Amino acid sequence: MDSLTSLTSSTSGHDSCLNIDGYGDPEPVDPDDLQRFQCGVHRGLLREPLQTQCGHRVCSQYESAGPFMCLEVWVAEGESRMCSVNEEDCLPVSRQTVCPDNSCVREMRRMKVHCVNKGSGCQLQCKYQDLKKHVQVCEHATVTCRWAPRGCPQHVLRKDLEEHARSCVWRPERCQLCGAEVSHCEMQNHEADVCPEKVTGCPYNCGHRTLKRKEVLDHRNVCPIRPTSCKFQAMGCTYVNTKELVDQHAKDAIAYHLELATSRLVEISQKRTVSETEHQDLLSRYTELEHNVHEAQAQQQNVQTTVHQIEQHGRDTRLEGQMATRRQVEQVERSVTEVSQRLAQLEERQRGDGSLQGEVQGTTGRYGSISNMAEVVSAQLSDHDRMIGVHDVRMAEMDLRFQLLETASYDGTLVWKIRDYARRKRDAVNSRTLSLYSQPFYTNRFGYKMCARVYLNGDGMGKKTHMSIFFVVMRGEYDALLTWPFNLKVTLTLLDQSPRRRHLTDQFVPDPTSSSFQRPSGEMNVASGCPLFVSQSLVENPDNGYVMDDTIFIRISVGQNTTTLSPTD
């Protein structure tokens, strides 16, 4: 806990009368008082004064001091700065080396000051300790109109409040017809459009002129000349007239109505044919997709089997190599031990028989050969370790390929799950990993290949303030059969995981002149998207549902276009 927290009770209880919310510093009657009670930081009158070791004063760090939390802003926790008065005998200031200056508080309470409303005409001079009570009743204080809740935006002096309230256009009045309370400036509109007692007459001019607005709705249902639509309106007849004339129209226009009904029936039949065709297309598409799913499942099973075989082969190879190497090493060690013992015996015999010199030299040669064999075995062991490393790399590549096949999308939509958001955000802030790439996805099985790229700490204009999301066109297997430049609408969405589902979405149509949407010549084009997609504070606000369980979800959708080509078209 901050060491100054213990000082709060000893200061705020004495000088709360010196804080006047919404006003600046009062003007002392004696100009010398401003110099005596001046804050060393903001150079105005002190608020909850604290004294430094060198005898100077600064405003407190507590919220009860209002906007004058000078020590809080000027000196960070655990740090120190040279006193801002900058005199010869000044000392460093920290939050631990200041103390409440109650003597200064007592002197300031007795200081004579002008009313803070002096500029509005108030001539009062009083003690600082009495100023707050005076301001609450000062006739020259600026206050809001009492009809502000009704919409009045005016601010007037307290002494003029009653006069303004009597003439304010937002003052309440009683409607003389219905007795409702309405603002003066809205009375005319009330009478013209709202008042239920206003006499309006029949809207169809049937001659009923004494109808009130509240009676009009019931009258419309029984008015003899109310407009009535023809019964064949749904078929396309636009005739509207009184009920009697509409009935006569129905008798006179039988042939016309029959023609409309026939046309409508033909239209419905055509739409049914189109719907049946579309249904068959959808059924064929569903069958194709089901076939693709089965193929993907079979490929997945094959990949799993291959990975299992490689893992088993790697384990068997590693185990066999280790056992063979161990046996060779043990054999070499036994040979070296035997030769060492033989040499020792020969050396003993040499001392007694000089004729054994040749045998010793021969045995020494054999020892050197065995040493060479040990080096060869060591080299073989290194080669074996290298082969095991190659197997591990191939297994990692197969595992990555398996993961990509598992998460591949072929309908133009990718839902990208990013786990460990807090750690990845720290990596981005510390410049260890600035951006992340998603797995590839496709518009269809033979369509465009794409991925997404996200900067959790922002990029370009959004760096350090926003999350930036970009769209990347990648080189695919079927690019030669597709239309270029890429021209499908791209939609980027940050998904809200809470029940409110307040997703954040942005979308754009590719610029056909941009190199980002031409046919890729490398592995991928330059990313294009939204550097100011969403502010980081909005994403990380715990009241929102964008980060839950340290995970975010980003959806990238690519809209279909009839000009897109694929081998199945």
Using one digit for the tens of pLDDT, what is the confidence trace for 446-486?
999 999 999 999 998 989 999 999 999 999 999 999 999 99
Residues of the chain with CATH 1.10.287: 272-407
- What tokens were used for 229? 């639509």
Lowest-pLDDT choice from 14-23, 28-37, 335-344, 491-500? 14-23
* Residue 524: pLDDT over 90: yes
Lowest-pLDDT choice from 93-107, 207-221, 391-405? 391-405
| Distance separating alpha carbons of residues 227 and 244, to the nearest angstrom | 10
- What tokens were used for 398? 């197969």
* Residue 488: pLDDT over 70: yes
Contact present, 492 and 505 (Cβ < 8 Å): yes
Give φ, ψ of 21 to 5 degrees.
-60, 140
Q: What confidence score (pLDDT) does residue 541 get?
A: 92
Is residue 97 helix, strand or coil? Answer: coil
Instruction: Please tell me the number of Cα atoms within 13 Å of 468 on its side-chain side.
Output: 20
Q: How far is CA 547 from CA 364, 439, 504, in A?
A: 74, 20, 13
Which amino acid, residue 246? V
Q: What confidence score (pLDDT) does residue 424 get?
A: 95
265 versus 357: which is more confidently predicted?
Answer: 265
Highest mean pLDDT among 10-24, 28-42, 234-248, 523-537: 523-537
Contacts made by residues 20-25, CB under 8 angstroms, sequence distance 24+: 20/116, 20/131, 20/132, 20/135, 21/66, 23/116, 23/135, 24/116
Q: What confidence score (pLDDT) does residue 389 get?
A: 67
Region 162-179: what's the mean pLDDT?
Answer: 91
| Distance separating alpha carbons of residues 263 and 271, to the nearest angstrom | 12
Assigned fold of 413-558: 2.60.210
| Distance separating alpha carbons of residues 213 and 227, to the nearest angstrom | 19
- What tokens were used for 67? 């906007």
Vertex 352: Cα angle to 346 and 358 (nearest 5): 45
Pairing of strands 528-535, 466-474: antiparallel
Q: What confidence score (pLDDT) does residue 10 get?
A: 42
Q: Which of 412, 421, 407 is nearest to 553 (CA)?
A: 421
Q: What confidence score (pLDDT) does residue 14 get?
A: 42
Give percent of the chain with pLDDT exceeding 70.
82
Q: What confidence score (pLDDT) does residue 18 get?
A: 60
The whole-angstrom distance between residue 220's C-alpha and the CA centroid of its chain comes to 54
Q: How far is CA 32 from CA 36, 52, 176, in A?
A: 6, 21, 64
Lowest-pLDDT choice from 141-145, 252-256, 273-277, 383-387? 383-387
94-114 burial: b if 16+ Cβ within 10 Å, else e: bbebbebbeebbeebbebebb
Give the model's confidence band at 560: pLDDT under 50 very low, under 70 low, under 90 confident, else very high: low
Which amino acid, residue 553? F
| Distance separating alpha carbons of residues 59 and 41, to the nearest angstrom | 8
Highest mean pLDDT among 156-160, 223-227, 322-326: 156-160
Cβ within 8 Å of residue 242, ≥6 positions away: 224, 225, 226, 227, 228
Q: Which of 445, 453, 449 is nearest to 523 (CA)?
A: 449
Task: State whether the Cα torsion 139-142-148-154 is positive or negative.
Answer: positive
Q: What is the model's pTM?
A: 0.38
Give the model's confidence band at 358: pLDDT under 50 very low, under 70 low, under 90 confident, else very high: low
Helical (H) or strand (E) element with 437: strand 436-437
- The mean predicted confidence, pLDDT, of the chain is 82
* Residue 152: pLDDT over 60: yes
Q: Residues 393-417: pLDDT tens digits?
A: 666 556 555 556 666 789 999 999 9
Q: What confidence score (pLDDT) does residue 15 get?
A: 47
CATH for the stretch 272-407 = 1.10.287
383 versus 264: which is more confidently predicted?
Answer: 264
| Distance separating alpha carbons of residues 386 and 317, to the nearest angstrom | 12
Residues of the chain with CATH 3.30.40.10: 3-137
Number of other CB atoms surrounding residue 61 within 10 Å: 24
* Residue 376: pLDDT over 80: no
| Distance separating alpha carbons of residues 124 and 452, to the nearest angstrom | 69
CA-based R_g, the chain, Å? 45
Give the model's confidence band at 364: pLDDT under 50 very low, under 70 low, under 90 confident, else very high: low
Region 293-320: what's the mean pLDDT?
Answer: 78
| Distance separating alpha carbons of residues 166 and 172, to the nearest angstrom | 10
311 versus 496: which is more confidently predicted?
Answer: 496
Alpha helices, H only, 223-356 = 243-252, 254-352
Give the model's confidence band at 70: pLDDT under 50 very low, under 70 low, under 90 confident, else very high: confident
* Residue 57: pLDDT over 70: yes
Domain spanning 3-137: which superfamily? Zinc/RING finger domain, C3HC4 (zinc finger) (3.30.40.10)
- What tokens were used for 16? 């709360």
Contact present, 142 and 157 (Cβ < 8 Å): yes
* Residue 557: pLDDT over 90: yes
* Residue 381: pLDDT over 50: yes
Q: Residues 18-39: pLDDT tens digits?
A: 666 556 678 899 988 888 888 8
* Residue 565: pLDDT over 50: no
Region 132-161: what's the mean pLDDT?
Answer: 91
Give the model's confidence band at 419: pLDDT under 50 very low, under 70 low, under 90 confident, else very high: very high
